[in-house]
Amino acid sequence: MTRRWSMSFKSCSAELDVLLRGFIVDLIIRRARLRHRENLVDVGVKSGRIITIAPSVAEKGAVEIDAGGNLVSPPFCDPHVHLDAVLSVGDPRYNQSGTLLEGIAIWSERKPTLTKELIRANALEAIKWEVAQGCLKIRTHADVFAPELIAVEALLELKGDLKDEVDIQVVAFPQDGIYAAPHGEKLMEEALRMGADVVGGIPHNELTREDGIRDLEYAFSLAEKYEKPIDVHCDETGDEQSRFIEVLAKLAIERGFEGRVAASHATAMHNYNNDYAFKLIGILQRAGIHVITNPFDNAVLQNRFDGYPRRRGHTRVDELLARGVNVAIGHDSIMDPWYPLGRGSMLQAANLLLHTAHMSGYAQISQLYDMITVNSARTLGVAGEYQIAEGNTADLIVVNASSEMEAIRLLPECLWVIRRGKVLATTSPARSRVELGDTAEDIDFKRGETQ
Ligand code: FE2
């Protein structure tokens, strides 16, 4: 291992020497800058766990990484992505209008041609992209209306195959509506029997408001039966009359699901009147609802009927955070019928949200970093061992930036991505060389922002 990355890692001196000291540290990350901590530290890892965090660790590691003062953080999470649709843009045709509805129509046209192998191959490629950029915890939706539940089957297989490298949760997702399309209940329950981790829903896509409420009630009944959390595509529309999120919160309170329910998108909230939004946010806080905003898709798909002026399509991120509601950022699409771009970068998603949600305030930049790390871990229910702390699992990333602010500004490489103490991915920093006048120099765009 040390030989393979000899340009990046210090070679361990001699394993025999380490053995003689009677104390083997598998991995040491030196000169790490941890969030909310002023001085640099060394982080020692043994048997997949963080065993020490100290200003200087004397022992040598079998593998040594010099973080060089760069930010070392828990891995990024993507709590909302559709791995069954990724990398499919243009198949069978491109979305000409750029709308959500044309995207759904194209996805419906594509479904009959899907194969499990195709879903697996595209999903695996997208997972590699996310892992390379520091994301090790992923919640993917799997459309139960894909023929014969092949999306659910393919993504559950991948979850199992990659269980030692990436934590994947699969949501049983009724894209066409549990009641708006045939056999919705049956397909949802079958997905849970197959092993889906989370119950989904899509109330605003049902034919009537009454069916939308049934959609949510059914999701809770399945979640109770299979003892699973809930993550609903909720009010993903600009229609200010779409108020299923209040029903979602009420059911969470009534059925004792506080803290185990996520509302994905919730874009209609952007357009609610302020009196109603104020009341609603209090209910969401009480119900412990996690809200997942998806900057790429929400920015391009919502409020398409506005003409001008053109409202932004995001949920009320700053108001929710200010009132104590947990808000996380999802990537949602990576090159699919709804959003043709994307590369699986959670930093890029946070950067976009900074602009579209008016979150350029100094303290808000740190909140954005929370939204792709700790807030998402809470949403996924995996916050227990998530932080960088002695005794916790050694899942870490070294970001080529000195702070959260610099990371969100530069969208830099993840130099090392580490899972349970093992290096999963490395990326070499880009190098820019500029010759002006008589001088030639390398520049890295860094200014040492603190945050
Ligand atoms: Fe989605």
Task: Locate 339 and state its tokens.
Answer: 């959003």
Question: Are residues 169 and 127 in contact, defined by beta-carbon separation less than 8 angstroms?
Answer: no
Q: Over 60: is that where the pLDDT of 436 sits? A: yes
Domain boundaries in the chain? 2-74+387-434, 76-380
Average pLDDT of 298-308? 93
**pLDDT score, position 79:** 98
**Given this structure, which CATH class describes domain 2-74+387-434?**
mainly beta
What's the farthest any 2 CA atoms get from each other in the chain?
73
**pLDDT score, position 2:** 37
**pLDDT score, position 448:** 81
Measured in angstroms, how far is the CA atom of residue 82 from the centroid of ligand 1?
Answer: 6
Average pLDDT of 419-434? 96
Measured in angstroms, how far is the CA atom of residue 223 from the centroid of ligand 1?
Answer: 19
Q: Report the distance separating Cα 164 and Cα 327, nearest Å.
A: 27
Per-residue pLDDT band for 10 (boundaries 50, 70, 90) equals very low
pLDDT, tens digit, 9 for 90 and up, residues 141-171: 999 999 999 999 999 999 999 999 999 999 9
Rounded to 5 degrees, φ, ψ at 114 are -70, 145
Task: Locate 434 and state its tokens.
Answer: 């500029």
SS (H, E, C) 336-375: CCCCCCCCCCHHHHHHHHHHHCCCCCHHHHHHHHHHCCHH
**Rg (alpha carbons) of the chain, rounded to whole number:** 23
For the beta sheet containing 327-329, the strands, ordered from the edge strand earlier in sequence to the opposite edge, are: 76-81, 135-143, 167-173, 198-199, 230-234, 261-265, 290-293, 327-329
223, 291, 320, 330, 359 from 249: Cα distances, Å: 15, 11, 14, 20, 26
Average pLDDT of 44-69? 95
Q: Report the distance separating Cα 148 and Cα 353, nearest Å.
A: 37
Which residues, listed in sequence order, are joined to residue 76 by a DSSP beta bridge? 135
Q: Over 50: is that where the pLDDT of 320 sits? A: yes
Q: Among all residues, which ones are annotated catalytic?
A: 236
Mean pLDDT score of the chain: 94
Q: Over 80: is that where the pLDDT of 20 sits? A: no
Q: Over 70: is that where the pLDDT of 406 sits? A: yes
pLDDT, tens digit, 9 for 90 and up, residues 255-296: 999 999 999 999 999 999 999 999 999 999 999 999 999 999
Residue in this structure with the two tokens 């490629």, named with its chain if needed: 125
**Burial of 270 (C-beta count, 10 Å sphere; 0-12/13-18/19+):** buried
76-380: CATH topology is TIM Barrel (3.20.20)
Q: Report the distance separating Cα 189 and Cα 209, nearest Å.
A: 22
Q: Whole-model pTM?
A: 0.94
Measured in angstroms, how far is the CA atom of residue 292 from the centroid of ligand 1?
Answer: 10
**pLDDT score, position 451:** 65
Average pLDDT of 90-119? 94
Q: Report the distance separating Cα 407 and Cα 423, nearest Å.
A: 21
pLDDT, tens digit, 9 for 90 and up, residues 199-250: 999 999 999 999 999 999 999 999 999 999 999 999 999 999 999 999 999 9
**pLDDT score, position 4:** 32
**pLDDT score, position 18:** 46
**pLDDT score, position 11:** 40
Average pLDDT of 437-444? 94
Question: Are residues 190 and 153 in contact, defined by beta-carbon separation less than 8 angstroms?
Answer: no
Average pLDDT of 300-323? 94
Q: Report the distance separating Cα 183 and Cα 425, nearest Å.
A: 42
**pLDDT score, position 153:** 98
Measured in angstroms, how far is the CA atom of residue 115 from the centroid of ligand 1?
Answer: 21
Distance of CA 392 to the CA centre of its chain: 21
Q: Over 60: is that where the pLDDT of 131 sits? A: yes
Measured in angstroms, how far is the CA atom of residue 174 from the centroid of ligand 1?
Answer: 11
Q: Report the distance separating Cα 403 and Cα 36, nearest Å.
A: 10
Measured in angstroms, how far is the CA atom of residue 263 from the centroid of ligand 1?
Answer: 11
Counting residues of the chain whose pLDDT is more than 70, the rounded percentage is 95
Task: Locate 169 and state its tokens.
Answer: 């949760």
**pLDDT score, position 12:** 43
Measured in angstroms, how far is the CA atom of residue 58 from the centroid of ligand 1?
Answer: 48
Q: Report the distance separating Cα 416 and Cα 8, nearest Å.
A: 10
Measured in angstroms, how far is the CA atom of residue 233 from the centroid of ligand 1?
Answer: 6
**pLDDT score, position 273:** 98
Q: Report the distance separating Cα 151 and Cα 194, nearest Å.
A: 12
Task: Locate 399 and state its tokens.
Answer: 């970001």
**pLDDT score, position 24:** 74
Q: Over 50: is that where the pLDDT of 5 sits? A: no
Counting residues of the chain whose pLDDT is more than 90, the rounded percentage is 92
Per-residue pLDDT band for 323 (boundaries 50, 70, 90) equals very high
Measured in angstroms, how far is the CA atom of residue 81 from the centroid of ligand 1?
Answer: 6
Q: List the one residue out of 200, 81, 228, 106 whose CA is nearest residue 144.
A: 200
Measured in angstroms, how far is the CA atom of residue 211 from the centroid of ligand 1?
Answer: 20
pLDDT, tens digit, 9 for 90 and up, residues 367-379: 999 999 999 999 9
